[in-house]
Chains A and B, each alone.
Chain A
Amino acid sequence: MQNLILANLLTEPIGVAHYVVVSAFMFTCGVLCMATKRNVLGVLMGVELVLNAASINLIAFGSPFLRNDANSLGLDGQLMTLFVIVLAAAEAAVALAIALNFYNNHDSIDVDRADELLG
């Protein structure tokens, strides 16, 4: 059975489902990164992984090579991915500015130290 799956993966075209699995894996890694890292920049890297998983999904749903029927997302997927990439850059800039500010004021980059608002 295992052998058959591998042979199928090597000789058959891949589908949207394979891309979705890769994206789900990266999404899970990103969420766990956000949940477990104590460094602010580690949390930020988790966010980047999650955004990247979203763009993989959008590209896969719009790809003519993976799904060539009328319900394909078409070019809209790629356009939305471009927006995701640009917004990720903006988010990284703001988050980095906040992290540097936090570091300057508290002399620490540990998210557990950011408890002044007692949230």
Chain B
Amino acid sequence: MQEIYWPSVFFLLFSGISCAFAVGVLLSQNIVRMAFYLVLSLAATSGLFFLAGADFVGAMQLMIYVGGTLVLLIFGVMLTSQERFIEMHTWAGDWVKAFLAGGALLFILVSAAFSVPAWQSMDRAEAEAVVASKTVTPLGMGLLGVRVDKPEEPDAARRDGMAGYLFQFEIVSVHLLVVLIGAAYLARAKRKRDLPAVQSDGSQ
């Protein structure tokens, strides 16, 4: 009997939590519960990121996704949660069709995942020999347009492909600005359409 390899155990733990709560999001009919399950699922996903050696991205997943985006979603749930919208039941026919299509999709994806030899796991000794490197500095330099990871890449074609991400960074920041202005414009508090009638009633 071999010794237990703890990263695999933690992978099972985190992937189990995230998959179970993803199913919870799918099967729950209560919108408040769905939001809560989504928080737990995405938080467990950040554990998967940490396990894969992506420490900075895992922290960003926790801070931006779980701390920002889902708070936004929960605000949306609170602003629209009238009694009749909290539980909206899916038609039974929709479930049947959805599970047929989803089962086929899942089967294809899983069989494809296990059919690629390069995606199989490494030997245990090989995996234990991997040295973890911190990713914050290479990520920050990459966003500034300078790649400091693997600078001595022998393949010239691949060296060209290791470009920085400054241009994409600029595009994303302008995109965020546009999106936030647009969202603020769309969601601004509008005057109720029946407000003039109320005012005329009040003046009489």
Q: Is the CB of B102 within 8 A of A32?
A: yes
Q: Is the CB of B53 within 8 A of A64?
A: yes
Pick the residue among B49, B149, B172 that contacts A59 (CB under 8 A): B49
Does chain B have a CB within 8 A of A114? no
Which applies to chain B's interface (DSSP): helix, strand, loop or mixed? Answer: helix
Q: Is the CB of B73 within 8 A of A18?
A: no
Query: How large, as a class, is the contact surface on chain A?
Result: 35 or more
Does chain B have a CB within 8 A of A10? yes
Q: Is the CB of A29 within 8 A of B26?
A: yes
Q: Is the CB of B110 within 8 A of A19?
A: no
Q: Is the CB of B88 within 8 A of A38?
A: yes
**List of B residues within 8 angstroms of A66 by Cβ:** 52, 121-122
Which applies to chain A's interface (DSSP): helix, strand, loop or mixed? Answer: helix
Inter-chain CA distance A24–B42, complex, in Å, is 15
A107 vs chain B, min Cβ distance (A): 9
A58 vs chain B, min Cβ distance (A): 9
**List of B residues within 8 angstroms of A38 by Cβ:** 88-90
Nearest 6 CB-CB pairings of A with B: A15-B121, A24-B109, A97-B186, A13-B127, A63-B52, A97-B187
Q: List 19 A-B contacts (CB under 8 A).
A: A10-B8, A13-B121, A15-B122, A17-B116, A17-B121, A28-B106, A29-B19, A29-B22, A35-B98, A36-B98, A55-B45, A59-B54, A60-B52, A67-B118, A68-B126, A78-B54, A98-B186, A99-B80, A103-B80
Chain A residues packing against B (C-beta within 8 Å): 9-22, 24-33, 35-42, 44-46, 48-49, 52, 55-56, 59-60, 62-69, 71, 74-79, 81-83, 85-94, 96-101, 103-104, 108-110
8 A-B pairs besides A17-B113, A20-B109 with CB distance below 8 A are A10-B12, A13-B123, A16-B118, A41-B31, A64-B133, A65-B130, A67-B122, A78-B57
